[in-house]
Structure 1
């Protein structure tokens, strides 16, 4: 049974008993729902994510959007949605209700959890092959698994992603190839534009006193 327990807090909706989260403008949050199925869900359980992805992806795609990722952490099931057009709170709220209906009907996760539908934000986590393909041409930050030769952290422009291998153009080392299965963590990097420098003050014109003849 899906119980809708939500209240608006600082631009997002939080389930009852949850600590309100501050609103972050680059990442838009919408309704959170709490499900009660009479049990507890392990916070580190990820085994149900693939079936859930298959369940809700058609719903997201039918709405004209793209299901970027789903995450389960600490009793929260986060659904990340992308779109060619900007997604506002109203659109995400409608999507969250639609996804909640599907999850309530199929009940793929036992226990109590919170559903949160949002956008991935300006810095996206990368951990699927299609994530890396979609990030080609962008600046990415890669951290490799312990034991890999060379630097563990590489930041540069992702130039290709195929055959399980990433190629990154690093300003210091040139082209660097990294096997995807040796990546511990990866994300896109958003670069803010330079802060405009304060304009110089106009020099004051000196006027000499005195009478003109």
Structure 2
């Protein structure tokens, strides 16, 4: 099969998520130990519940059974990306403005490759964070193309 499994699954699942008013966050196809896992992460503005995950799993499972793109046994998992959901695209960054995020970069910026703070702005090219350093706050600007990984970051206030 010339098409990547995740690309094919995205084509199959997108119409279902749109019909169910859900956002497709991510798809991963991985081998862990002896088992293969196809994981589909979904979300919505109000979150997702177990029934929505179950419905999507059933509908996607039927489509996958019809075309049978995976030559071996695998586990299909449909779930929410969780509180620390990844930021995968520009839309995710826009939605995360005002929230706490964790970012890893491909190369050092001011001697650092990992940052955590409030995402204050994003213009498609630059990511701006307000980062606390001990008792003060500093602004960090990260070029979007240098972002290797980003996710929402849960903070606990005591």
Q: How does the TM-score come out when normalised to structure 1?
A: 0.62
Query: By percentage of residues, which structure has more helix?
Result: 2
Instruction: Judge conservation of contact 1:148–1:182 (CA < 8 Å) in 2.
Output: no
Query: By percentage of residues, which structure has more strand?
Result: 2
Q: Which one of 13, 17, 28 corresponds to residue 60 of structure 1?
A: 17
Larger radius of gyration: 1
1:165 corresponds to 2:122: no
Structure 2 gaps of 5+ residues are none
Report 1:1-213 matches (<5 A).
47-74=4-31, 75-172=36-133, 174-194=138-158
SS at match of 1:171: strand
CA–CA distance in structure 2, aligned partners of residues 49 and 151 of structure 1: 32
Structure 1 gaps of 5+ residues are 1-45, 195-213
RMSD: 2.4
**How many pairs align?**
150
Over 3 Å counting, the alpha-carbon distance change for 1:104 and 1:134 in structure 2 is farther
Runs of 4+ in structure 1 deviating by more than 6 angstroms, as ranges, are none
CA–CA distance in structure 1, aligned partners of residues 65 and 144 of structure 2: 35
Instruction: Judge conservation of contact 1:52–1:108 (CA < 8 Å) in 2.
Output: no
CA–CA distance in structure 2, aligned partners of residues 117 and 126 of structure 1: 18
CA–CA distance in structure 2, aligned partners of residues 126 and 161 of structure 1: 12
